[in-house]
Chain A
Amino acid sequence: AQSVTQLGSHVSVSEGALVLLRCNYSSSVPPYLFWYVQYPNQGLQLLLKYTSAATLVKGINGFEAEFKKSETSFHLTKPSAHMSDAAEYFCAVSVSNFGNEKLTFGTGTRLTIIP
């Protein structure tokens, strides 16, 4: 069975500082990995996705994530935090198992930006 673990339910960083949100996955077959962002009172929005083409994936709003198979990780980073980055971030994993696919989300990490 596939699963994803997000380390840290709350992360606070200063404006302009590095953002690092951690995600580790578990899957017996090559996974598809995603990061979604949820702003207050809104649905989830795709930030980026990994589908085995390149290990470093660039997304929207300056975010990127690196797939590390040896560490089963897909951490999300942004070099310089902006106040508008305050939101909840979800890592998700999907395994291609025809006829029985589902997208499994982590529990989320709430990112707070300190002025």
Chain B
Amino acid sequence: DSGVTQTPKHLITATGQRVTLRCSPRSGDLSVYWYQQSLDQGLQFLIHYYNGEERAKGNILERFSAQQFPDLHSELNLSSLELGDSALYFCASSVRDRFNSPLHFGNGTRLTVT
């Protein structure tokens, strides 16, 4: 058990809809990272927050947004969903804001867009 909790585990929704994925980091970790894993794109970095502030953006679409709250949990909002957004979305946390700190991954949220 990594200590990172992601909810829900599975999400099935229709095109055009909006969903919110939630992540609770390990106790004491200030950094939260979001990754998208799909068969054709592999693991893609989306966004990184540290102690409530956005630190880095990766290949995140404008339809997607995220935030980290004062209690350090994070939410990833996906809107105007398309079939191609179907993927496994991972949250990871680490103590520091540097990428040389090991990441601790949650078990992911599997999103299916129909």
Binding site for B on A (CB under 8 A): 32, 34, 36, 41-46, 49, 51, 90, 94, 96, 100-108
Can you spell out 24 A-B residue pairs with CB atoms less than 8 angstroms apart?
A32-B100, A34-B102, A36-B103, A42-B107, A43-B90, A43-B105, A45-B105, A46-B102, A46-B103, A49-B100, A49-B102, A51-B100, A90-B43, A94-B99, A94-B100, A96-B99, A100-B56, A101-B98, A101-B99, A102-B56, A102-B99, A103-B99, A105-B42, A105-B43
Bound: A106/B37 CA distance, A? 12
How many pairs, one residue from A and one from B, have CB atoms within 8 Å of each other in the complex? 54
- Do A43 and B106 form a contact, CB below 8 Å, given A104-B45, A105-B42? yes
A96 to B100, Cβ gap below 8 A?
yes
A43 to B98, Cβ gap below 8 A?
no
Chain B residues near A45 (CB, 8 Å)? Answer: 2, 105
The 0/1 profile, CB within 8 Å of A marked 1, for residues 27-59 of chain B is 000000100000000110100100000001010
Additional A-B contact list (12), CB under 8 Å, known A100-B56, A101-B98, A103-B45: A34-B102, A36-B105, A42-B107, A43-B4, A43-B106, A45-B2, A45-B105, A94-B99, A96-B100, A102-B56, A103-B33, A108-B43
Binding site for A on B (CB under 8 A): 2, 4, 33, 42-43, 45, 48, 56, 58, 90, 92, 98-100, 102-108
